[in-house]
A and B are shown apart, each in its own frame.
Chain A
């Protein structure tokens, strides 16, 4: 224990040249990094590498058999029902992402802009919008499934109460409604996150820019589109990439709302659910091989698109400067 305290004293004020100090600091830095590094290796790197290895083998239950080459990947795209489910789930993920960008990100920007100007109740409203964020998606999904319940739920009861009974819907049970409903619930839960990021970015834009625009005769709307919005590009990039990663990995909320089969009739099935089912509810003996192949595909897709999107937004940012 004493050895870890030593470098701190050395590294204190007047502790020699910066290079020597840096070298001496290493053991200490390592000690601080080690717990995170170990956790990261054990829980992120190791599963990633092992999933990759699993995906190239044939499995009988939990017993690893011979090398399968790309057969598991081929199964994903040629073997019914997987061949149908993979594309359907991917399409649902895309719809989910687009829907979320439209509702959640736009909503977050709107709230941030409105709150930026407001003088009263700003703190309270900000907290209120972020609050659902603190609830576990499983709990949120369960709560909403109670509220949307056609027999005992609050939503349809409220609609009937105000004479809008004709609008009462089987929210979770209509194949055309189930996915949009999930998108809205997800947006309800996470809207606070883009709002906070946008709010921080808005606060960082000097007031002079707006003043200059106003002097030049720009309307508020024009000033927002020509001055504020371009300056928000970096944040928009981060929000888009994070939303993409979150949406393509989504599992918990949909599982809580619609179960592992993406009810009704797979209309809310997403890649995360499909992976869960392929791994744990699959009567096929080769469940581990197939699900690992799917996990690898998901990783490549998400990682690849995120990397490309990141570059794109970096360039936009650079152009801004």
Chain B
């Protein structure tokens, strides 16, 4: 018994010891800023990015603290609620999902602190409070949506990126005949289908004009142009992978990176991971040509803000955190970010180092459209993206476009109040 108790005591001491150890205080009066993020894969990249800031701010050390992306949204509110010891700077989802953090007073407003005079207001919208209109984050990246394609397969099959819908379908048929999956996508994940719809259907429903009319309440999602655009996406089923409804997101990625599929409707965010998985993969990008009956007679590159960095309202080093956030709005950060992580920086004037991203970003600037379901209809439960994805899943199972449109309308009208009465 005595021995048992000794062992237990010893164990207790061992377990308790780390709890008593001094916490993250750094030597001297150096301040350590914690940056919370959902990108563990970018840890090394951020170390490189923050190095110049640490050099110009010798009293500040930036600690990048990544959390698994599937757990981030459950961890973030708890971290922001901590009275002390919480993170200083946090990565934020764009548009709708930050609103509850803002209304709970978890984030510090940045108006007047950060110079965003040169920024495009539509970019800043991603980090603004819907109710108070204040800025709570500095957007770090833009994402564009287009059709990525395997250059080698296109060359082997003697196919050029199509400029008309008829040519696009003919190319798909040719690829299918050659035993290659024309379009790789995931029918199991609703958000992937919503992205497919934005890529293939945006020209059909009318791009930003339709989005504006829907926001104003002049049109809704039972509109024949909108339901026809859903149909455009669902009718591509023969060119999606076999049994697409069971194809998961990683499977769709693998089909494309392994060269089994020729095209991948997706975002600029895929380019980095794709090249990492298969460094020999030569990726090109084109915009889906206007679909039959399109309301917009030219191709569209859709885009949206990927997210932003904001300051914890309870940060113990708010001054330093603001310094860092200010710096994250400068071209110096933007260029470092774009080059190191192979992304499209949201900072105005910064061009992506990667030629493919530069091409899609240029497309967005000259003939862009907003990703409507995220940018305009991503503020309530259910998110527009999720509801549209569910409707498309049902269409792949045989539901009619009109019924799918009704489902989208039912979901969005549960929380959305049109601005135009």
Contact = CB atoms under 8 A, between A and B. Distances in A.
Contact of A80 (B247, B248, B411): B411
Interface of B: 1-2, 5-6, 9, 73-74, 77-78, 80-81, 96-97, 99-106, 187-190, 241-248, 251, 254-255, 260, 378-383, 386, 390, 393-394, 397, 410-411, 414-415
B190 A61 contact: no
B243 A281 contact: no
A5 B245 contact: no
Interface in A275-290: 279-285, 287
A257 to B, nearest CB: 10
Given A81-B414, A261-B386, A265-B190, 9 more contacts: A1-B5, A150-B241, A150-B246, A152-B251, A172-B188, A174-B397, A175-B393, A259-B189, A280-B74
Contact of B100 (A60, A170, A261): A60
Contacts of A248: none
A50 interface: no
Nearest to B378: A283
A17 interface: no
Nearest to B407: A265
Given A171-B246, A173-B245, A149 B251 contact: yes
Interface residues of A, number: 42
Contact of A149 (B78, B102, B248, B260): B248
Contacts of B380: 283-284
A25 to B, nearest CB: 14
A174 B9 contact: no
B394 A170 contact: no
Contacts of B5: 1, 4-5
A97 B103 CA distance: 41
A153 B241 CA distance: 14
Contact of B245 (A145, A264, A284, A285): A264
B251 A261 contact: no
Contacts of A171: 246
A2 B189 CA distance: 61
A142 to B, nearest CB: 11
Contacts, number: 126
B397 A175 contact: yes
A5 B9 CA distance: 14
A283 B73 contact: no
Contacts of A259: 188-189
B246 A61 contact: no
A265 B394 contact: yes
Contacts of B80: 62
Contact of B2 (A1, A60, A62, A174): A1
6 contacts: A4-B5, A63-B105, A151-B251, A173-B243, A264-B397, A280-B73
Contacts of B251: 149-152
B103 A170 contact: no
A282 B379 CA distance: 10
Contact of B255 (A8, A151, A261): A151
Contacts of A283: 96-97, 99-100, 378-381, 383
Given A1-B9, A61-B100, A62-B80, A170 B243 contact: yes
Chain A's interface: helix, strand, loop or mixed, by majority? loop
A173 B242 CA distance: 11
Contacts of A79: 414
A9 to B, nearest CB: 9
Contacts of A172: 188, 246, 248
B414 A1 contact: no
B2 A5 contact: yes
B244 A62 contact: no
Contacts of B78: 62
Nearest to B190: A261
Nearest to B106: A61
A62 B247 contact: no
A259 B187 CA distance: 13
A174 B322 CA distance: 50
Nearest to B78: A62
Nearest to B102: A61
Contacts of A284: 100, 380-381, 415
Interface string A145-166: 1001111100000000000000
B1 A174 contact: no
Contacts of A145: 248
A93 interface: no
A81 B246 contact: no
A5 B3 CA distance: 10
Contacts of B101: 61
Nearest to B74: A280
